[in-house]
Amino acid sequence: MGGERRVYWLGFGAMRLTGKGIWGEPRDHAEAIAVLRRALELGVTLIDTADSYGPAVSERLIAEALYPYPPELVIATKGGLERPGPDRWTPNGRPEHLRAACEGSLRRLKLERIELYQLHRIDPAVPLEDQLGTLRELQHQGKIRHIGLSEVPVADIERARQLVPIVSVQNRYNLVERRTTPEAEQVLDHCERAGIAFIPWFPLLAGDLAKPRGPVARVAGRLHATASQVALAWLLRRSPVMLPIPGTSRVRHLEENSAAALLDLSDQDFRELDRG
């Protein structure tokens, strides 16, 4: 990542550790802590979170479960969204907000520097130069190491790269929606050419492809795997810059998702899934 840090190619997304609507405390606090600790036991070296998850709850849980952190662990977080209530998200890219968000994340995560800090959304009401300029200042101050983007088209990636180095892009991407959102494949291909890590969120969606006699179901049956494992295995084979971050609030689901990294798709399996 950024030519400096190696991470295992299947990370963990910590959004679902919070309460319903990504709001408040987890329903089962002990299970949330167990999920984070088990993730490290399974070899996860990248945990993705955000100040808006909870808000603040996800970051606090990570520190509670894992601090002091092992040296190989990269914690990526995000700023740039405010939470007026459950399932509600409002962009705020004002420099003063981004600075405060970063400082809050540093405190909650008990870090002196955040390895990957991502602009959660580009705020259309604030010049991009001001938003990324703030992150660049935080980078120069040693508070963040690398900068990433979330939910951006190719044009915005290129605009951003003229202002700061960008090491990651986190967009919604999965077997189903890559077909319904033409820009999805364009962004992934662009990241691959530029050597930018592509972090797909909501990676497990298989939809009608997982119905009986559908391609995901057929491949899962041949491999004695679940539909979710097949969807993840396809992502991992799709591109060398792919870094999925499946999230869950249950240890059992975490272990199931992690097993996808060991699933060996044949060329036939991959083509069948790719065709949909």
Which residues belong to the active site?
A: 53
CA distances from 94 to 82, 99, 106, 155, 189 (A): 11, 9, 19, 21, 31
| Alpha carbon distance, N-terminus to C-terminus of the chain | 31
Q: Are 247 and 12 in contact (CB under 8 A)?
A: yes
Conformational region of residue 182, where left means phi above 0, alpha means psi within -120 to 50, and beta covers everything else: alpha
What is the Cα–Cα distance from 113 to 158, expressed in whole angstroms?
Answer: 26
CA distances from 208 to 53, 76, 213, 249 (A): 29, 32, 10, 25
What is the Cα–Cα distance from 262 to 249, expressed in whole angstroms?
Answer: 22
Q: Residue with structure tokens 């990676």? A: 203
Q: Are 230 and 206 in contact (CB under 8 A)?
A: yes
Tokens read off for 31: 């299970």
Q: Which of 36, 81, 33, 37 is nearest to 55 (CA)?
A: 81
Which residues, including other chains, have CB under 8 Å from residue 161's CB and lie 6 or more apart?
194
CB atoms under 10 Å from CB of 3, counted, come to 8
Which residues, including other chains, have CB under 8 Å from residue 182's CB and lie 6 or more apart?
none
